[in-house]
Structure 1
Amino acid sequence: MSTDALATLALHQFNAIVQSTPGLRVRDGQQRMAQQVADTFAQTRLRGEAGETESDTSEHAIAVIEAGTGVGKSLAYAAPAIQMALARGTRVLIATATVSLQEQLVHKDLPALAAAMSEPFSFALAKGRARYVCKLKLERLASDESAVDDGLFPEDPDAPGKEAAETREARSAFYTRLADDLASGLWEGDRDQLAIPPDPALWSPIAAVAHTCTGRHCPLFATCTYYERRKELVAAQVIVANHDLLLSSIGARLLPDLSNCLLIIDEAHHLPRTALAQFACEMDISRLAWLQQLASRALRVASQVEVESDIDVAASSARLRVALQDAERLVIDLYGAPLREAMARAPGKPASHRARAPRGELPPPLSEALAQVLQHAGDLLQGLRAIAQALREHIREEPADARRLSQLYAQVGQLAPRLEAVHASASLLLQEAPQGGAPAAKWFTLASAGDAPVVRAHASPLLPGAALAAHLWSAVRGAVLTSATLTSCGNFDFFLREAGLSDDAGVTTLQVASPFDYARQGTLTASRTEALPRDVAAFTRQMVRALLDDLAQVRSGALVLFTSREQMRQAVEQLPPALRTIVLVQGQQPRLKLLAAHRERVARGAPSVIFGLQSFGEGLDLPGALCETLFITKLPFAPPDEPVDEARAEWLRASGGDPFMELVVPATAMRLAQWVGRAIRSEDDHAQVICYDKRLLHTGYGRRLLHGLPAFTLRERGAPAETTA
């Protein structure tokens, strides 16, 4: 089928669904988005597809689409993409940033679409394997009280033996209850099905992680929850995952091959930050008890199987320990003075210090020590892999002993991620900047633990775009990236740079405006304070006074967004009794409970105000009366104190750039647009936004921020008169 025919078929399916579904109507913006999705995927040449040539392997088609609130983007991308996948015999992979959107897609949008489409399709939710239980490890911990000592608790190898009796009993009761529920069918082995999310320290020892899994060699493989879910994924034509899983599984077989599927990345504005977190590394170079345990377990296994390897595990472990201790000593000598001074001033009190290597350049002695760490960690990893391979072969040859040997494998594997983290961290810490390129960000954290410091080493790529270009886009043939906020200050330039797509000839951008009439439905009031935000104390005092005056006028639902916890604390402290009864504060109760209380108050006609921080500025859906007023206490500039941001600003300045205008302002513009997006959620909503930061109207960069916001009716209000007690 030709490219034009494929696009026409996909768009026809979208139009048929819109016309046949009660409550839906044709929207110009949604139609334009669906057309772009159809055109993009029609141009995609998948690996192995008829007509593909060698030249196709380096080409791809990617659409970056900003779809304003109310466009209906999930239908606009899902209907044409799924129709095209069915026509071409391939699959659709949708990756989101939040659990709430995943649940909406899997439980609402995709079932409705499957019922409306002319051709049926199957879909499934993909999760990381750590979300599922390992039945073999659970069996061990639920049936044998001594199992808490056999190495399935990775956080502190010495901790289980030192636990109080009541804590050990609580652990045992937890695992016994899970095992009983699993056996009775009350629970299927999915962590997310548990009524109360378990403590990570309790869940980690029973998670079905790859390092502890012998796969098809496990005696419980036939009933494994994780592998049952994988079968569903193999059969599904549409798979919903998250950004983390998308990036972490590149090259693995969990998700569809990116060169042979249609990829949709929703909530795409999160992707660059997720990439930085995904490709960053860190390691503990102080607490090394795990290393001895890992070696002893590996040697115990090696004594029972025949291993083909020249690596001396005991010697490699000992050499790695010495190298890590040398690195720790050098870090303390080089960067530990502030921590020692803090510990001396306040003995026994917690203290911490962070030191970043300027320009990503480590002192030569520290680089030499880390080179030794890298070498010995690599040797030990090689030895462990040989032992693991031999153990798997032995399990296959001796199925009667598979249960015991699989449990040994799990004990060794539980500590293997620490060794891999050491190897990866040392490698990135030693990485030199490419010619003309950005160096990695490198830093160390030191914290007091009794009389001795605990030292951690960290490294991260500096540019998310470079990491995404190397790891993701090089594998992708066809993709659509979408979100309500992908432009910054009115253009796509910042996002394209951050996402690694700015110089990509295969990229097309489209901005689809919201169907809402913002000028009619809402107002944006810039309420001035005399003090500038950089005068923190005076600004906060004046802002809180103006905020309290405005809150007294609230008659329905309202949301107040703060830029810091301290700012929110001061506002809470100054609430008069009449307002204290209507304010709900983030963190004082669980999020779902807080939102339920807010909805209940508004439903009975009472005023209700939510005080929230950054996490309430995005993804929070409060339509209609639930948010008739949105208060923004201060422009949401991120504090410039994160090591990666500091290192990037340093590199930009050295390259002749302006970090504030090139990084800070564009990032703030996207964050502010997300915040403002909480106000108008439907075509029937009416709301006002009040911002207390006068920089929005009275600075050049403020006007750039304003340019990226919806076209509210704009008003300005003067500063309130200063009063004294």
Structure 2
Amino acid sequence: MEDAEALAQRALDQFDGLIAQGGGLRPRAGQRAMAACVATALAHGAPGQVAADGQGPRRLAVVEAGTGVGKSLAYLVPAITVALQRGTRVVVSTATVALQEQLVRQDLPALAARLPTPFRFALAKGRGRYVCRLKLERWLGDPHGADAGEGDDDLLAPLDATGAAARLAWLHARADDLAHGRWDGELDSLPQPPEPAWWAAVAADAASCSARHCPLYGGCVYFERRKELVGAQVIVVNHDLLLATLGTRQLPEPDQCLLVLDEAHHLPATALAQWSCRTGLTRLAWIDQLSSRMLRVAQEVECDAVADVPEAAAQLRAALQELARLAVQTWGGALRHGEEPLRVRWPLGRVPDGWEAPLRQGGQAAETLLAALRALGAALRGAMREQPEEARRLAQLYAQLGTLAPRLEATSDTVRWLAHVPEPGQPPLAKWLTLVPPAAGGDGSVRVVAHASPIQPGALLRARLWPQVRAAVLTSATLTGGGGRFDFFLREAGLADDADVSTLAVESPFDHARQGELVLAGVTADPRDLPAYQQAVQQALLRDLPGVRQGALVLFTSRAHLRQVAQALPPELRERVLVQGELPRAQLLQRHRERVGAGQPSILFGLQSFGEGLDLPGALCADLFITKLPFAPPDDPVGEARAEWLRASGRDPFLELVVPATALRLQQWVGRALRSEDDRARIVCYDPRLTATGYGRMMLAGLPPFARRVVVQGARVPAAAPEVEA
């Protein structure tokens, strides 16, 4: 086998050869430096060569590649070259399905047409993005008896008669589209995103899937897509799917492939979301449904594992009811009809008095039910093998049990985590409750949901992901916060002090001082006085937005503030504004492109999701307005719990966590302005903290070196920034 140094050189030569072909590609020193780093890391790591003690060749490269470097090409060419030579595969993980599809529909086809050695690539999505034909059949055959998943989300009201009828009509339409080839069964190919409850009714999921035992397996959309993965050398996934499938063999395991994590700055937050849990303490009819179905199935397959099910179900219901009673008794007095839900976090994750016994009872009962459920599932699969003529009916029974299985698993996990007491010196879990006030016209009851989550993403990733990884690249445009130091990201990602990790920061090729201007137009109001600050920013926008001549993006940190400003716009200005959420994202952006293409001004109002991953080149974002520094929401319970623990440990959470995270987010927002070396843009920031505070000046120093202009507070920002010589 070719040694690592020679293989790394071969991969870099392949990259150089591709660039030399031209065809729109041109040499960039930063891109080549990144390609060399990727080639070295992946060639020296050795998937599949882990010794018994867990040691072996292992390399991880962390690369910050500024906007415009061309990082996709810089990691794809070396990774594919090394994989083909080593006879392994590349798993590319990115932040969202939209970014996955960009790689599969644009970047990889273009690359496959240019590389001398052919390769295959495929897109992998989670089961829940595909329709389950068996569920769809069941709903259409018996819409009143197929309500196993009704009310799974305890923060959503159940469907009324009108909503149920609309859902059934939608399901009939989808079944017809599927039957006549007008729809391929994927959520992402629907022209309009459906209501979450409608899709949840028929979405595929592992718990209710009998796989090869299903009578509709031959036409299963999910498994047909999975066949595409078998012969693919490059598989494109997202971070959620990567973490959710660890150890399941649905994807190549991390120790058997080359791993590329694009948009890696999202990985820590994804890990926290993936490994958190929640369950409803009210709306417990599902427990009785599960118990009765388990008993009925046990009779069908002659399984004797359900003897304790009725008692365990009663105990679980009683325990959850007691927990809900304690919650309402302690905190329900603060609830009022029509108000927002109340969230109550347990300080330092400590269990309140009186909660230990019901938590213990609920945990034991849930474990008893899970054990019986697993035994029933095995018995049903066996019966399907032995009685193929009964497969359809048995698969429906399996699906009925499986629809409720995730609720039981979530309840078991949440109750266990709520009762968890950390070892001395270890961080607590974040634990909190959501109390939803009675709805008008409802039964007058308060709904209660319990939540639990780890607070340190680095510890999760260090325990569950990195020990399996032998060769990986983590990359993003924002990993250092502009200060050149990777410390914060490495801690958050669980890679601090890892001897196998190397880092590289590659600057953007843009001439920021010539191409862009940063206008520091801080308003006079103090951001801590939220009403006054929002009013001041609103006045500034009403003053400055009429000067927009091409495309503009206005980024808000609050949906309420966004709506407030949108409602205050005069009619002639409101006609130019497109507000996130008023149309599906694709339609909104298409309308924006059409307006700008026709020479008309068009202004997008957006939130955090528009501040990242939104590609608006050229005139589509000639002006970028930042209404407020993008601090995380102050009421995030996981962030609150982590800050509380750090303070209790004598540390400063604001400087240690909040400022670095905000600096990275601000870099992402500013990155919407320039997307190519030909772009020109103006960035306007109204937050006075960027220049008036020490941490703000630190964030400012980490931004690209745009030409800067300070506008006297209250003065109009000029309609167009003059081109500034470098």
> How far is 1:87 from its partner?
0.4
**Is the Cα–Cα contact under 8 Å of residues 133 and 206 in structure 1 kept in the other structure?**
yes
Match of 1:432 among 411, 421, 434: 421
**Is the Cα–Cα contact under 8 Å of residues 489 and 666 in structure 1 kept in the other structure?**
no
Deviations 1:593-641 (A, max 9, x none): 3222222222222222222222211112111112112111221222321
For residue 370 of structure 2, what is the aligned residue in structure 1?
381
Return the TM-score normalized by structure 2: 0.93
In 1, the alpha carbon distance for the partners of 2:617 and 2:146 equals 52
In 2, the alpha carbon distance for the partners of 1:307 and 1:368 equals 32
SS of 1:6's equivalent in the other structure is: helix
SS of 1:630's equivalent in the other structure is: strand
> How far is 1:13 from its partner?
1.2
Letter of the 2:93 counterpart: A
Deviations 1:535-568 (A, max 9, x none): 3333333333333332232222222212222333
For residue 304 of structure 1, what is the aligned residue in structure 2?
300
> How far is 1:104 from its partner?
1.1
SS of 1:648's equivalent in the other structure is: helix
SS of 1:106's equivalent in the other structure is: helix
SS of 2:547's equivalent in the other structure is: coil
> How far is 1:377 from its partner?
0.2
Q: Does 1:204 align with 2:200?
A: yes
In 1, the alpha carbon distance for the partners of 2:295 and 2:355 equals 31
Match of 1:137 among 131, 135, 138: 135
> How far is 1:58 from its partner?
6.4
Match of 2:312 among 310, 316, 321: 316
**Is the Cα–Cα contact under 8 Å of residues 134 and 224 in structure 1 kept in the other structure?**
yes
For residue 103 of structure 1, what is the aligned residue in structure 2?
101
Q: How has the CA–CA distance of structure 1 residues 598 and 150 changed in structure 2, closer, same or farther, with 3 Å as cutoff?
A: closer
SS of 1:208's equivalent in the other structure is: coil
Deviations 1:373-399 (A, max 9, x none): 111100110011111111111111111
For residue 362 of structure 1, what is the aligned residue in structure 2?
351
For residue 327 of structure 1, what is the aligned residue in structure 2?
323
Match of 1:60 among 58, 61, 82: 58
Letter of the 1:102 counterpart: Q
For residue 124 of structure 1, what is the aligned residue in structure 2?
122
Q: Which moved more, 1:113-122 or 1:53-62?
A: 53-62
For residue 379 of structure 2, what is the aligned residue in structure 1?
390
Q: How has the CA–CA distance of structure 1 residues 310 and 626 changed in structure 2, closer, same or farther, with 3 Å as cutoff?
A: closer
For residue 452 of structure 2, what is the aligned residue in structure 1?
459
> How far is 1:353 from its partner?
1.6
In 2, the alpha carbon distance for the partners of 1:211 and 1:706 equals 49
> How far is 1:352 from its partner?
2.7
Match of 2:530 among 533, 536, 552: 536
**Is the Cα–Cα contact under 8 Å of residues 219 and 403 in structure 1 kept in the other structure?**
yes
For residue 723 of structure 2, what is the aligned residue in structure 1?
none
Match of 1:404 among 383, 393, 399: 393
**Is the Cα–Cα contact under 8 Å of residues 93 and 263 in structure 1 kept in the other structure?**
yes
**Is the Cα–Cα contact under 8 Å of residues 45 and 56 in structure 1 kept in the other structure?**
no
For residue 677 of structure 2, what is the aligned residue in structure 1?
683
Q: How do 1:588-599 residues align onto structure 2 when only pairs under 5 Å count?
A: 588-599=582-593
In 1, the alpha carbon distance for the partners of 2:566 and 2:191 equals 32
For residue 345 of structure 1, what is the aligned residue in structure 2?
none
Match of 1:552 among 546, 551, 556: 546
Q: How has the CA–CA distance of structure 1 residues 372 and 161 changed in structure 2, closer, same or farther, with 3 Å as cutoff?
A: closer
In 1, the alpha carbon distance for the partners of 2:670 and 2:222 equals 40
For residue 11 of structure 2, what is the aligned residue in structure 1?
10
Letter of the 1:70 counterpart: G
Q: How do 1:490-529 residues align onto structure 2 when only pairs under 5 Å count?
A: 490=483, 491-529=485-523
> How far is 1:360 from its partner?
0.8
> How far is 1:720 from its partner?
1.9
SS of 2:300's equivalent in the other structure is: coil
In 2, the alpha carbon distance for the partners of 1:140 and 1:588 equals 34
Q: How do 1:541-620 residues align onto structure 2 when only pairs under 5 Å count?
A: 541-620=535-614
In 2, the alpha carbon distance for the partners of 1:351 and 1:230 equals 42
For residue 473 of structure 2, what is the aligned residue in structure 1?
480
**Is the Cα–Cα contact under 8 Å of residues 14 and 34 in structure 1 kept in the other structure?**
yes
In 2, the alpha carbon distance for the partners of 1:617 and 1:226 equals 32
In 1, the alpha carbon distance for the partners of 2:575 and 2:210 equals 56
In 1, the alpha carbon distance for the partners of 2:134 and 2:535 equals 58
Letter of the 2:121 counterpart: F
Q: How has the CA–CA distance of structure 1 residues 406 and 374 changed in structure 2, closer, same or farther, with 3 Å as cutoff?
A: same
Letter of the 1:141 counterpart: W
> How far is 1:677 from its partner?
0.7
For residue 179 of structure 2, what is the aligned residue in structure 1?
183
Deviations 1:172-218 (A, max 9, x none): 44334333333333333223233333323222232221111111112
In 2, the alpha carbon distance for the partners of 1:277 and 1:110 equals 29
Letter of the 2:288 counterpart: Q
Q: How has the CA–CA distance of structure 1 residues 156 and 421 changed in structure 2, closer, same or farther, with 3 Å as cutoff?
A: closer
SS of 1:532's equivalent in the other structure is: coil
In 2, the alpha carbon distance for the partners of 1:618 and 1:153 equals 34
**Is the Cα–Cα contact under 8 Å of residues 629 and 689 in structure 1 kept in the other structure?**
yes
For residue 85 of structure 2, what is the aligned residue in structure 1?
87
SS of 2:468's equivalent in the other structure is: coil
Q: How has the CA–CA distance of structure 1 residues 156 and 605 changed in structure 2, closer, same or farther, with 3 Å as cutoff?
A: closer
For residue 336 of structure 1, what is the aligned residue in structure 2?
332
> How far is 1:170 from its partner?
4.5
Letter of the 1:28 counterpart: A
**Is the Cα–Cα contact under 8 Å of residues 90 and 260 in structure 1 kept in the other structure?**
yes
> How far is 1:19 from its partner?
1.2
Q: How has the CA–CA distance of structure 1 residues 32 and 196 changed in structure 2, closer, same or farther, with 3 Å as cutoff?
A: same
Q: Which moved more, 1:198-207 or 1:652-661?
A: 198-207
For residue 361 of structure 2, what is the aligned residue in structure 1?
372
Q: How do 1:616-655 residues align onto structure 2 when only pairs under 5 Å count?
A: 616-655=610-649
Match of 1:275 among 271, 274, 278: 271
**Is the Cα–Cα contact under 8 Å of residues 21 and 116 in structure 1 kept in the other structure?**
no
**Is the Cα–Cα contact under 8 Å of residues 295 and 314 in structure 1 kept in the other structure?**
yes
SS of 1:690's equivalent in the other structure is: strand
Q: How has the CA–CA distance of structure 1 residues 399 and 22 changed in structure 2, closer, same or farther, with 3 Å as cutoff?
A: same
Q: CA RMSD in A?
A: 2.3
> How far is 1:367 from its partner?
2.1
Q: Does 1:713 align with 2:702?
A: no
Letter of the 1:485 counterpart: T
SS of 1:197's equivalent in the other structure is: coil
**Is the Cα–Cα contact under 8 Å of residues 560 and 632 in structure 1 kept in the other structure?**
yes
In 1, the alpha carbon distance for the partners of 2:646 and 2:397 equals 50
Q: Does 1:37 align with 2:38?
A: yes
For residue 724 of structure 2, what is the aligned residue in structure 1?
none
In 2, the alpha carbon distance for the partners of 1:174 and 1:570 equals 34
**Is the Cα–Cα contact under 8 Å of residues 106 and 125 in structure 1 kept in the other structure?**
yes
Letter of the 1:625 counterpart: A
In 1, the alpha carbon distance for the partners of 2:338 and 2:565 equals 29
Q: Which moved more, 1:669-678 or 1:578-587?
A: 578-587
> How far is 1:91 from its partner?
0.4
Q: How has the CA–CA distance of structure 1 residues 605 and 409 changed in structure 2, closer, same or farther, with 3 Å as cutoff?
A: same
> How far is 1:434 from its partner?
3.0
Q: Which moved more, 1:530-539 or 1:449-458?
A: 530-539
> How far is 1:147 from its partner?
4.4
In 1, the alpha carbon distance for the partners of 2:172 and 2:598 equals 44
Letter of the 1:37 counterpart: V
Letter of the 2:681 counterpart: A
**Is the Cα–Cα contact under 8 Å of residues 243 and 271 in structure 1 kept in the other structure?**
yes
In 1, the alpha carbon distance for the partners of 2:458 and 2:579 equals 36
> How far is 1:428 from its partner?
1.4
For residue 232 of structure 1, what is the aligned residue in structure 2?
228
**Is the Cα–Cα contact under 8 Å of residues 124 and 236 in structure 1 kept in the other structure?**
yes
**Is the Cα–Cα contact under 8 Å of residues 66 and 508 in structure 2 kept in the other structure?**
yes
Letter of the 1:716 counterpart: V
Q: How has the CA–CA distance of structure 1 residues 161 and 657 changed in structure 2, closer, same or farther, with 3 Å as cutoff?
A: closer
In 1, the alpha carbon distance for the partners of 2:271 and 2:127 equals 20
Q: How has the CA–CA distance of structure 1 residues 311 and 258 changed in structure 2, closer, same or farther, with 3 Å as cutoff?
A: farther
SS of 2:708's equivalent in the other structure is: strand
Q: Which moved more, 1:64-73 or 1:183-192?
A: 183-192
In 2, the alpha carbon distance for the partners of 1:359 and 1:160 equals 31
In 2, the alpha carbon distance for the partners of 1:191 and 1:528 equals 43
SS of 2:60's equivalent in the other structure is: strand
Deviations 1:117-165 (A, max 9, x none): 11111111101112222222223333x2x3431444442699999963x
Q: How has the CA–CA distance of structure 1 residues 72 and 652 changed in structure 2, closer, same or farther, with 3 Å as cutoff?
A: same
SS of 2:465's equivalent in the other structure is: helix
